[in-house]
Structure 1
Amino acid sequence: MGSDVKQHGSIWLARLCLLLGAGAVLLALVGAIGAGQDWWGKLDGISFVTAAVVVALVGLVFSLIVLLLYRKKGTAIRNLTLIGLVCSLAYLGFIGYWINVARSVPQIHDITTNLDNPPEFRVLKLRPDDFADVPGRGEAKYAGMDAMERWKLLHRGAYGDIRTVTLALPVDKVVSLAEEVARDRGWEIAQASPEEGRLEAVDTVSLFRFKDDVVVRVQPGPGGTTSQVDVRSVSRVGRSDLGVNAKRIRGFLKDLQAAASN
């Protein structure tokens, strides 16, 4: 094998395959961690991830070529190339999964249990461009609809199960339970007011440390013996939330209902 490696410069090609595959993963991690640590902006971090896709694609193609041409030149060449190939494929598979997730949900980032009367933020600030880029503008099937109407239509189609929850507890007790659940889920509490029936919090997710704002509104139900709970979760960055806000609301309400039943 040693003579083969010396005779052929293909060992360097194999090392390049490894460098491209592993480098793509490393580049994406650096971008995500750097954005999470505020070394650069979130969108800059996403640019790293996008650039890593290009590197992985080049690594994939290059690895296949090297395997085809030099697979019989020694086990070292083959193994290095295979490792690079696996790294490239793994990263591209990971990105492919999230692309599939993105395609399965509408490109909106403001999710709530009450579309007709969404809870309003008072302590935290709703992003100023919240409804600036709702999909459907100029499309025939959305003719005559403004951004809010398009948002409601897309929201209902994707998240029809997310609705107001009624609990057989007084408002102040529900808010106190909501605060406990929020803290258990690792949220940073911005406001908890049992008297006003309100909770506002921030949830931080992924290596990017994206911050999403959450408001919980609790109102007396009919007759005053129950409470009606509405939740709104909004991403601070990005057009699509990849379904994260809906998942958060579902999980929070499930935990809150479990806490209320104990």
Structure 2
Amino acid sequence: MQAMEKPHGSIWLARLCLLLGAGSVVMALVGAIGAGQDWWGKLEGLSVVMAAVVVALVALLFSLIVLLLYRKKGTAIRNMTLIGLVCSLGFLGVIGYWVNVGRSVPQIHDITTNLDNPPEFRVLKLRPDDFADVPGRGEAKYAGMDAMERWKLLHGAAYGDLRTVTVALPVDKAVALAEQVARKRGWEIAAVRPDEGRLEAVDTVSLFRFKDDIVVRVQPGPGGLTSQIDVRSVSRVGRSDLGVNAKRIRGFLKDLKAAALKG
């Protein structure tokens, strides 16, 4: 009776490639979801994701080596290695995309339509370190500028399209419409004050469930028949918001103007 042929040793390397590639994706998801569910902190979750990037890089390297050396040793070896390669490449591609986004926007997290007079939070609290780590400290081109001045310069260069918006509604109706739009966008309303022309809300984003605080200020225009609306959106965690706050403000104002025209 013919003895059963033992599997080639490279099958274990292929399994390792699969384990590392798929494992890096699972590891990152666990880190993000765990942080979002408050099983651990946001920074701890980010650390897990960064560790997963290292695992994915190792998986990518191993997969390329195994494919190069053992691609002719059998379909199972090739397929497992390819799956590991695709998993690691896909995950690294996603991370690369967000790294590129991060490089395309300034390292700030407080975004508004009015740099000279940003809306103030009264119910929600502005993070105490909001302007503690604005980029440019000690750099020659920002010489003589304090953190607020550097923030305005960076903000204006990146988000110059964000401006005060005027709608043809009195203040109380504009606030009511702002609340309606905010609820449709899934924001958690923290305060609605038509008499003060103010709305405050919280938006939750990504698997990490990051919390961003928003304040909408509505002021009467000339004659009281129009309203001037400013928005401020601030991330609670992190130095950079990856452009999320500006995108949120643009989307909100677009929806608000469309709703005002319909109404």
* TM-score when normalising by structure 1: 0.98
1:204 aligns with: 204
- Alpha-carbon distance in structure 2 between the residues aligned to 1:222 and 1:100: 44
Instruction: Specify the SS of the correspondent of 1:213.
Output: strand
The answer on 1:147 being equivalent to 2:158 is no
Asked whether 1:86 is paired with 2:74, we answer: no
Counterpart CA distance in 1 for 2:217 and 2:112 is 11
| Aligned-partner Cα distance in 2 for 1:45–1:245 | 21
Q: How many residues align?
A: 260
Name the residue aligned to 1:180: 180
Return the offset for 1:195: 1.2
Residue 15 of structure 1 corresponds to: 15
Aligned counterpart, 1:251:
251
Who is 1:27 aligned against? 27
- Distance in 1, matches of 2:7 and 2:102, equals 48
Give the partner amino acid of 1:125: K
Say if 2:156 is the partner of 1:156: yes
Q: Deviations over 1:9-45 (max 9, x none)?
A: 1111100000000000000000000000000000101
- 1:70-85 maps to which residues of 2 (within 5 A)? 70-85=70-85
Distance in 1 between the 2:208 and 2:108 partners?
Answer: 19
Helix, strand or coil at the partner of 2:148: helix
**Which residue pairs with 2:234 in the alignment?**
234
Separation of aligned partners in 1, 2:180 and 2:230: 17
Contact kept? 1:217, 1:229, Cα under 8 Å: yes
Compared CA separation, residues 5 and 207, structure 1 to 2 (3 A): farther
4+ residue runs of structure 1 moved beyond 6 angstroms?
A: none
Q: CA deviation at 1:6?
A: 2.3
1:66-101, Cα deviation, whole Å (9 max, x unpaired): 111111110000000000000000000000000000
Residue identity opposite 2:131 in structure 1: F
Partner of 1:122: 122
Q: Report the residue type matching 1:243 in the other structure.
A: G
CA distance in 2, matches of 1:74, 1:18: 15
Per the alignment, do residues 222 and 65 of structure 1 end up closer, same or farther by CA in structure 2, a change over 3 Å counting?
same
Structure 1 partner of 2:214 = 214
Q: Deviations over 1:123-163 (max 9, x none)?
A: 00000000000000000000000000000000000000000
1:246: Cα distance to partner?
0.1
Are 1:4 and 1:74, in contact at CA under 8 Å, matched by a contact in 2?
Answer: no
Shift of the alpha carbon at 1:225?
A: 1.8
- Per the TM alignment, residue 4 of structure 1 is displaced from its structure 2 partner at its CA by 10
1:38 is matched with which residue? 38
Give the match's secondary structure for 1:127: coil
Helix, strand or coil at the partner of 1:203: strand
Contact kept? 1:20, 1:55, Cα under 8 Å: yes
> Could you tell me the percent identity over the aligned residues?
86
Distance 1:138 1:4 in 2: 71
Q: Which runs of 5+ in 1 are unaligned?
A: none
Supply the AA of the counterpart residue of 1:139.
E
How far does residue 8 in structure 1 lie from its aligned partner after superposition? 1.4
**Secondary structure of the corresponding residue to residue 68 of structure 1:** helix
Whole-Å separation in 1 of the counterparts to 2:176 and 2:75: 63
**3-state SS of the aligned residue for 2:124?**
coil
SS of 1:6 mapped into structure 2: coil
8 Å Cα contact 1:175/1:194 also seen in 2 = yes
What one-letter code is carried by the residue in structure 1 that aligns with 2:214?
V
